[in-house]
A and B are shown apart, each in its own frame.
Chain A
Amino acid sequence: MMKQKAYSTWLAALAICLFNIASRPGGALKTFRINGRAQGTTYAVTYYAEREAVSQTQTDSIFKSLDASLSIYQPGSLINTFNASREGVEMDLHLSRVVERSMQIYKQTGGLFDITVYPLVNAWGFGTKDEDGLPDSAAIRRILPCVGSVNLQTSGNSLVKSNPCIQIDVNGIAQGYSVDIVADFLEVRGVSNYLVEVGGEIRTKGRKYPGKEKMSIGIETPSATEFDTPVIREVISIGDGAVTTSGSYRKFRQSGGLRLSHIINPKSGFPVQREIISATVVAPDAITADGFDNALLAAGVNGAFEILKKHPEMDAYLIYKKTDGNVADTASAGFARHVVR
């Protein structure tokens, strides 16, 4: 019920806004900022307009509608209904878009990005429940038949599973999608200069006003701990586009001196143990960048460049640990044009 209500509010808002152009050329643009919490992290929106075009309440209601559809942490969400179902569900617009894009990226990454990874995520204790123990390889072997996006079929709005044990987790892409949704909302309200950030995933358009400077984005140095204050390693400017980062340096479990990454390789069933510490992807939209960043991390440096070769629309910056233990970075050829300093 709540999902539908929030969704119709959002549609109504959209309809009204088609007639409401917030920033006419020539007017002096002011800075508006919205900060809040959503999806277990923080979000920040900065936009430049003559008058307020989007409010905190509106933004929060967008996040509510996203959670009602995509959040595994929200009881009764559509995704949880799908996971609990034997056969599948009718998708809403959010789930349908996210699943469609996820299936494409699944194919484009050779299965390294796979939303059916959820049973593995749970087994490794990164799901909604705390797991005390660690699964053994026999347990992982039992779970693997339930993993693989080939087990998902869509027809119209139906999302169908081939086996009741198939469960999906879109956390690897939903934040990017959320960034796009908020950005779309700003555009519908006539805003064309903005920065939207949700949990470190960013989309920008236009310039900062009144000085018309480019928007600058810091890429964080992987920190040793969950609580380190972010330190900037590189500063980039991406114009009209999106940038997201995947890193296992904040979310991991410690086991006998070993760090277990929260990024699980859907093919092997085990946490990714790769040299890449952090993968930053620049792409035209945030859902694309976010969908690919985990896969690049899981692919390793060479594998990541293999994937990037086929996607000239994307650039990536990778921070990795060399065999001698030192931390180094590398980037795709096109990345240099984004670097400010």
Chain B
Amino acid sequence: MIQPPTSRRDFITTGLAAVAGAGLSAAFTPAFAVTVRPADKIRLGIIGTGSRGAGLATLIREITDYDLVACCDIIPENLQKGLSLASANAKGYTDYRKLLDDKSIDAVVIATPLYLHYPMAVAALQAGKHIYLEKSMTYDITQAIDLVKKVKASGLVFQVGYQYRYYGLYHRVKEIMKENWLGKITHFECQYNRNSNWRFPVKDPKMERAINWRMYREYCGGPLSELCAHEIDVVNYLTDSRPVKVVGLGGINYWKDGRDTYDNIRTVYEYPNGVKASVTSVLSNAYNGYSIRILGDKATVEILRDKAFIYPESTNNAKGVVDGVTGATIAVTTQGKGVEVKFGKPGEAELEPTVFALKDFAECVKNKKEPTSNVETGRDGSIAIHMGNAAADTEKVQYWKPEYSA
């Protein structure tokens, strides 16, 4: 298991550790949330405008529900980028607590390295802000369990950035599973591979750990928490369950560049009723980089980035008792080619899945609804990730403990 960080690098604003500590032990007293009326624009702040945060800002700019009024980042270039995408009079901050002090802000997006998610989310709840927290939810299991309590006590809207829960493709796949197109489903095969060192360029060597935090266990759980998190959440979503146990192996066998997070990890999660989900990330091969295969006894679905295909099993089972079968024509496809899964409403624009997630967050804030990707589903994802990493670290089966979801 990844140990909670014991040291903080100097790029973290001072006082953060104190907040993190206070979050766990001190009384939790969220400020009263400002009520956003359905007709109002949501006054939004983004904490962390690096690659993901700026990407979100670009999408938010096109969504009329939001007014992006504040950005925060400790890296000046990131902050400038964020502000360039924000409203004309948006304020820039390097200390996120100052942003949270702004009473006129209704909600915040937190898109920072994983280890900062918990302290920042707790501080934002205390400041009475609705939160859109990037995935994965928390750095460790304790934080995940505690955040559930704090969010529930706050009455605030809390959404985790698992956008695939909002994407028509996955809705359709879930429907297809429910309609029994795939028959009895016994396995999921998930991979999130790439053929690159997964690094961002660093001009000043002092900034290495701040920029390439994904390489270091002090800040995140490596490929499992930063890449495969989506797929673990998707399996949880499609099965309406969470893992029972997990085995795993990982290593740093290709990118021996000073990183201490895995450059390859392969885990197998067991879900209720013996359903298994293999979850893999390999950083030295990119064939079908992102893919989830769902194996049923009638058909297989393969989900790729923005499309999915069905590969039916042979349908000759009914013959044998009779000499022929008359029925509506069964379409066949060329060997190895699946039937594409149609999704979305006719004529509906194809949008980045995150747009649907952000629009739904606005809807939840305005109408006080519980998000589909909420603190409990976020907890289940984070705990599964940590169990997977722990399985690989210890080479021992990790079990879901009843107290995780008590």
Contacts and interface: CB of A to CB of B under 8 A. Distances in A.
Given A199-B329, A245-B328, A254-B342, A235 B298 contact: no
Contacts of B298: 227-229
Contacts of B318: 218, 220, 229-232
A238 to B, nearest CB: 10
B175 to A, nearest CB: 9
Contacts of A227: 181-182, 298-299, 310, 312, 315
A208 interface: yes
A121 interface: no
A122 to B, nearest CB: 15
Given A41-B330, A227-B299, A215 B181 contact: no
Interface string A236-273: 00000001111111110111100000000000000000
Contacts of A210: none
B326 A245 contact: yes
Interface in B328-361: 328-332, 339, 342, 345-347
Given A200-B330, A250-B330, A256-B345, A220 B325 contact: yes
B332 A42 contact: yes
A204 interface: yes
Interface string A115-149: 00000000000000001111000000000000000
Nearest to A279: B328
A184 interface: no
Contact of B329 (A216, A219, A251): A251
A165 to B, nearest CB: 24
Interface string A190-223: 0000010101111010001000000111111010
Contacts of B330: 41-42, 199-200, 230, 250
A225 interface: yes
B321 interface: yes
B332 A37 contact: yes
Instruction: Please classify the interface of chain B as helix (H, G, I), strand (E, B), loop, or mixed, using the class held by over half of its residues.
Output: loop
B92 to A, nearest CB: 42
A229 B325 CA distance: 11
A65 interface: no
A44 interface: yes
B322 interface: yes
Contacts of A222: 327-328
A197 B339 CA distance: 23
15 contacts: A40-B331, A41-B330, A131-B346, A132-B346, A199-B330, A200-B330, A204-B324, A217-B322, A217-B324, A217-B325, A218-B321, A222-B327, A230-B315, A244-B326, A251-B331
Interface of B: 176, 179-182, 298-299, 310, 312-313, 315, 317-319, 321-332, 339, 342, 345-347
Interface of A: 37, 40-42, 44, 46, 131-134, 175, 195, 197, 199-202, 204, 208, 215-220, 222, 224-232, 235, 243-251, 253-256, 278, 280
